[in-house]
Amino acid sequence: MWIIKLFLLGIFSLIFFQDYKDRTVYWFLYPITGIVVLILQIQIVSIPVALVNSGINLLFIGFLLFFCYWYAQIKLKKSLLQSVLGLGDVLFFIAIAFSFSIVSFLVLFVFALLFSLILHFVFKNKHAEQTVPLAGYMSLFYATVYGISFFYNLHFLYAY
């Protein structure tokens, strides 16, 4: 399990550095992230429970993206993927939906978004670009969560 977690931390680091530096991330890192976090979840809970967790988390991401799409189209009069969210952000949302139980996922997802907002405000003046490396900041947050799980038994992240 340690090797899988180290591999995942490496993937999260790659996503962070690529998104922060270039605002582009290799697309294949997202499916790899989804598969690895699902493997980690399956090691703690059974396969059916992990699939139910992932399905409900994906429904939440779907609702979130629907409302973002609606807000971008109706209120902002802009395209969702061209001005509001990047494709990498959407792919990261989908990949990370395979990570934890439903309640833990919702709590961590909200805190990852808040963490990203705080980092954006801290580093806003240091970059000329107006875009937010959301997937990168969120991957940094999740790398911290999985890094802490190295030292503590965090099975409650997968419990109800």
Domain spans of the chain?
Answer: 2-58+85-158
Mean pLDDT of the chain: 90
**Residue 56 CB contacts under 8 Å (≥ 6 apart), including other chains:** 102
- Angle (CA) 5-108-6 rounded to 5° is 10
Average pLDDT on 18-47 reads 93
Query: What's the pLDDT tens digit per position in 145-155?
Result: 999 888 887 67
Query: What's the pLDDT tens digit per position in 95-106?
Result: 999 999 999 999
**Residue 4 CB contacts under 8 Å (≥ 6 apart), including other chains:** 36, 39, 40
Query: % helix / strand / coil in the chain, to the nearest 5?
Result: 80, 0, 20
Q: What is the pLDDT of residue 136?
A: 95
